[in-house]
Chains A and B, each alone.
Chain A
Amino acid sequence: MSKVLLGFLVGGALGVLDGMTSWFTPEVRPEILQIIAGSTFKGLVAGLLIGLFARRTNNMALTLVFGVIVAGFFAYLVAASMGKFYFEIMLPGAIVGLLTGYATQRYGHGPSPRAA
């Protein structure tokens, strides 16, 4: 699978998962569908960006840093829109970026022949 497609899918899947965890917060449970949709969209976009970056650099360390920054930035936007929960949203978000970055670089295939 190409790094871009893999980043897109992993980002999306982790977005769904991340959104679903809001079920454990009873105050926001009524809006869970919107939260999942938003979180998934955020994950898809971040994953796409990370995948594109991974394809360009072919460098694990840089991709991990980029993943943390991109996912952290999107999480910041979400937290900023709510005006609270900065830490609670950004920390897991950053880990999701790390995971996406790792997955794209480790499991995705570059445009050149297999480099695993």
Chain B
Amino acid sequence: MLSDAALDRLQTSLGTPDTSGTRYRILRKAGEGGMGTVWEAEDTVLSRRVALKVLAVEDEGGAARLLREARIVAGLEHPGIVPVHDAGTLPDGRVFAALKFVDGAPLSAALPMLGGPAERLRVFLRAAEAVAFAHARGVVHRDLKPENVMLGAFGEVLVVDWGVAAVRGDSGSRAFPVSGSGTKDGTVVGTPGWMAPEQERGEISRVDARSDVFALGRLLSVLAEPRPGEPGLDRRLAAIVAKATAQEPETRYENAAALAGDVARHLEGEPVSAYREGPVERLARLAVRHRVALLLLLAYLVTRALVLFIRKN
């Protein structure tokens, strides 16, 4: 019979990937993912930190999925998508992928630290732009949620965990190294509460960029939700959220780029496609958008009037 101490030691060595003879040295556990564990490790050749995503067990299905994810991410070079450096098999037979180590926290944890509404919308835009890039390459993330958006220590916004992403076969000019969704109809892929209705029903063949738009819409509503002391949710923004999270994919934005465009226009005080404004609202929006210029013009007119008034008296 093993002693308690021996039991703990064996458990630790079972849980820790065997990187002997490789360029990686395990530093500490960084988190648990859907398929395995993410370790903070050192790449001893390049002397840099990496995030080593290692499968818990060496089953073929998981290995194929991890390699598939690595290949998808490798095909998505974008500042908002964590780059993959390497992938392969460890001496203990487990498959790994080495990704850029992001020193930061997932949005789910970092949300309270974010500043005012405009800053939060800009964080959303960065994430949506990364997803828009993937959509342009024919890749659908399928599991967007605050846990899968990382905020770096230097303000980077990175979309992570492309483990269940789907790739359209006809992804334009650049052929993707992998294609297909890796799943059949009837399989539910995603996270309850974040996934689109068609995704929740397991209608895999109907899941496309608009399903990501739904999840992004949920994300937007979380980020845009007014905090105590902040003005209520702007009607245009509410309309954008409503359009993004519509039940029917046909009524949503076509892809993340269209959604990001509307949010960017809202931030700039320009009209948004999701909201038809009345003439008074339009005037009010224009006044807010050009408030500095209007104030300066007003200051000029007041000064002129004052000067005249003073001279007359």
Contact = CB atoms under 8 A, between A and B. Distances in A.
In the complex, A touching B, CB below 8 Å?
Answer: yes
Interface of A: 14, 18, 21, 24-25, 87-88, 91-92, 95-96, 98-99, 102-103, 106, 116
Contacts of B297: 99
B300 A88 contact: no
Interface in B251-269: 268
Contact of A99 (B300, B308, B311): B300
B293 interface: yes
B118 to A, nearest CB: 15
* A interface: dominant SS: helix
B296 interface: yes
B299 interface: yes
B302 to A, nearest CB: 9
Contact of B292 (A24, A102, A116): A102
Interface in B283-303: 292-293, 296-297, 299-300, 303
B307 interface: yes
Contact of A95 (B292, B293, B303, B308): B303
B304 interface: yes
Given A92-B304, A96-B300, A25 B311 contact: yes
A32 to B, nearest CB: 15
27 contacts: A14-B300, A21-B304, A21-B308, A24-B308, A25-B308, A25-B311, A87-B307, A88-B310, A88-B311, A91-B303, A91-B307, A92-B300, A92-B303, A92-B304, A95-B296, A95-B300, A96-B300, A98-B296, A99-B293, A99-B296, A99-B300, A102-B292, A102-B293, A102-B296, A106-B292, A106-B293, A116-B268
Interface string B12-30: 0000000000000000000
Contacts of A87: 307
A25 B268 CA distance: 41
A6 to B, nearest CB: 12
B297 to A, nearest CB: 6
Contacts of B310: 88
A16 to B, nearest CB: 13
Contacts of B307: 87-88, 91-92
B268 A103 contact: no
Contacts of B304: 18, 21, 92
Contacts of B296: 95, 98-99, 102
Interface string B233-272: 0000000000000000000000000000000000010000
Given A102-B293, A103-B293, A106-B292, A95 B299 contact: yes
Contacts of A14: 300
Contacts of B308: 21, 24-25
A14 B303 CA distance: 14
